Amino acid sequence: MNSICKSCPKADLDQNFNIKLKDHNEFVIALAGNPNVGKSTVFNALTGLNQHTGNWPGKTVSNARGIYKHKGKRFVLVDLPGTYSLLANSVEEQVARDFICFGKPDATVVVADATCLERNLNIVLQIIELTNKVVLCINLMDEAKRKGISVNIKKLEKKLGIPVVATIARKGEGLDKLMDKTYNVALGLETTSPKQIQYPKIIEDKIEKISKQLQDTLENKLNSRWVSLRLMEGDTTILESIYTFMLNKENTYVEEEGAYIYGYQ
């Protein structure tokens, strides 16, 4: 059932995340963001699926996926668990992080809540530190308006260096623009230049030192600057994931009734 060549990076997707692509014209889009910002609503609106939207933690631990078409291309949309961070404090965060790191999505859409942007921008900054193929979707614009909050989309775009789209997913507003922007980023038609966080010199020096040593192992498949930062924090889960996904030792995913659910359960 493998119609896609073994050698290209997308073969890993099938092996590790159970995503089967028909051909090179399919694109994988990850959907990330805080809990409760309407990720699953955006997911359902785009794919026409009726995945459970419910408000309890860990609802989307086994990541759900659906397909939508835009401008003649097929997009596989992967709904990741809602997290405040990507630094792997919990199973959900690890699932989300591993997919963005090792699933190599063609683009990552971060959904944020317009009513409390400050809280939501944390994960946006973390994701643009990891990959530059990011589109920010500011959802719940209607609720923000009701609360008297207006969001300056143009300014956010400029400050973050990535495309930003305002949406009301529940009513389907802004989704066309979201699909356009995602299309552009996934196909490389629009180049993003996310603003990188500069750390104090003492940390920057260490990053340089560590990332040099990492380059051979990571072979540009994973952002060595980002991995250096995680290692400095003493995060060992990233090492385990590198072993599992990049060096192909021990697959931690178990098959269960067709769905791949993360190791526990």
User: Which uninterrupted H or E stretch holds 137?
Assistant: strand 134-139
Which range touches another protein (CB under 8 A), out of 3-11, 111-119, 180-188, 252-260?
Answer: 111-119
Task: State the nearest-atom distance from the C-beta of 123 to another protein, in Å.
Answer: 8
Nearest alpha-carbon partner for 82 in 108, 56, 49: 56
* 225-244 positions binding another protein, by CB under 8 A: 233-234
Paired with 254 in beta bridges are 261
Task: State the nearest-atom distance from the C-beta of 119 to another protein, in Å.
Answer: 4
- Asked if 118 interacts with another protein (CB under 8 A), we say yes
Q: Distance between CA atoms of 122 and 101, rounded to whole angstroms? A: 18
Which range touches another protein (CB under 8 A), out of 64-72, 82-90, 96-104, 206-214?
Answer: 82-90
C-beta of 116 vs 246, nearer to another protein: 116
Q: Distance between CA atoms of 111 and 63, rounded to whole angstroms? A: 16
Which range touches another protein (CB under 8 A), out of 47-55, 67-75, 108-116, 169-177?
Answer: 108-116
CB 23 within 8 A of CB 109: no
- Asked if 84 interacts with another protein (CB under 8 A), we say yes
Among 34, 60, 63, 139, binds another protein (CB under 8 A): 34
- Asked if 200 interacts with another protein (CB under 8 A), we say no
User: Which uninterrupted H or E stretch holds 84?
Assistant: none
Residues in the chain: 265
- Residue 1 is given by DSSP the state -
Q: Distance between CA atoms of 111 and 156, rounded to whole angstroms? A: 14
C-beta of 4 vs 116, nearer to another protein: 116
- Asked if 40 interacts with another protein (CB under 8 A), we say no
Q: How many chain residues are in contact with another protein, going by CB under 8 A?
A: 14
